[in-house]
Amino acid sequence: MRLLLISNSTNAGETYLEHPLQEIKTFLGEKPVNAVFVPYAGVTISFDDYTGRVRSRFQEIGHDITSVNDVSDPVKAVEEAGAVIVGGGNTFQLVKLMQDNGLIDAIRNRVLQGIPYIGWSAGSNVACPSLKTTNDMPIVEPGSFNTMNLVPFQINPHYLDANPEGHAGETREMRIEEFIEANPGMFVVGLREGTMFLLENGSMELIGPRPARIFKKEMDPYELQPGSDFSFLL
């Protein structure tokens, strides 16, 4: 498999997809790829506008995209794609529409066959066994929480350490501790903004300026820096 799993699309003070764009270019290569884009996580942006926004950035690096929302047969489009890109937004809506359109299995099968997969935020969530470590509100109800299971661990994108002054609710770490209590044996990776996982040739690399935070039941959370060995997650 070849996966690029990105925590977030936009860093503070940067333009859309600015921080991962060169990594995406390197990942896809110089030769134009027939890439299919899944905009289903977009809620307050139309799928057409979302696709246009992503297309403009990908064209800058020599690639174009076709949205599954613009074809009569999304499964066929995925089956013929040279790459799959899944954008961020609301993970519950993304999963529901992927399920409704038969794309969970279709994308999984193509990625297992070796085509590149790129996802950011919700698009990284759906590469995991389930959507249970998303940060999003359940604005719609999918048929199942199960997702593509391309990696055997859970990602929490946009991971934050901060506990704002005056905030008495649960921190992100506390929420993840609830998950690992209910799901013993499962690793969760807090993937901070500006970072991403590159998985290819059977190994996984953390790219970016920040460490990842590792959680598992009956283990103290700990940090791993870029350049560390992440093979235990696979």
Among candidate residues 65, 24, 37, 60, the one with its CA nearest the CA of residue 196: 24
Query: What pLDDT, on a 0 to 100 scale, did the predictor assign at position 181?
Result: 98
Alpha-carbon distance values, 8 to 98, 155, 198, 215 (Å): 20, 12, 14, 20
**Which whole number is the average pLDDT over 12-21?**
96
Cα gap 35→58, rounded to integer Å: 10
- Residue 161 pLDDT grade (very low, low, confident, very high; cuts 50, 70, 90): confident
pLDDT of residue 140 exceeding 90, the answer is yes
Query: What pLDDT, on a 0 to 100 scale, did the predictor assign at position 166?
Result: 74
**Which whole number is the average pLDDT over 199-211?**
96
Catalytic pick from 136, 144, 167, 231? 136
- Residue 170 pLDDT grade (very low, low, confident, very high; cuts 50, 70, 90): confident
* pTM for this entry: 0.96
Whether 161 is catalytic:
no
Catalytic pick from 7, 121, 124, 130? 121
**Which whole number is the average pLDDT over 20-36?**
95
- Give percent of the chain above pLDDT 70: 99
- Residue 26 pLDDT grade (very low, low, confident, very high; cuts 50, 70, 90): very high
Query: What pLDDT, on a 0 to 100 scale, did the predictor assign at position 134?
Result: 98
Q: Are 203 and 232 in contact (CB under 8 A)?
A: no
Q: Chain-wide mean pLDDT for the chain? A: 96
Whether 158 is catalytic:
yes
3-state secondary structure 88-143: CCCHHHHHHHHHHCCHHHHHHHHHHCCCEEEEECHHHHCCCCECCCCCCCCCCCCC
Lowest mean pLDDT among 102-116, 155-169, 207-221: 155-169
Q: Which CATH architecture has domain 2-151+192-211?
A: 3-Layer(aba) Sandwich (3.40)
Catalytic pick from 158, 203, 229, 231? 158
pLDDT of residue 13 exceeding 90, the answer is yes
**Which whole number is the average pLDDT over 80-87?**
98
In the chain, helix, strand, coil percent, each to 5? 30, 25, 50
Q: Which residue has the higher pLDDT, 214 or 169?
A: 214
**Which whole number is the average pLDDT over 136-159?**
98
Domain edges within the chain: 2-151+192-211
Query: What pLDDT, on a 0 to 100 scale, did the predictor assign at position 168?
Result: 65
- Residue 162 pLDDT grade (very low, low, confident, very high; cuts 50, 70, 90): confident
**Which whole number is the average pLDDT over 165-180?**
87
Whether 19 is catalytic:
no
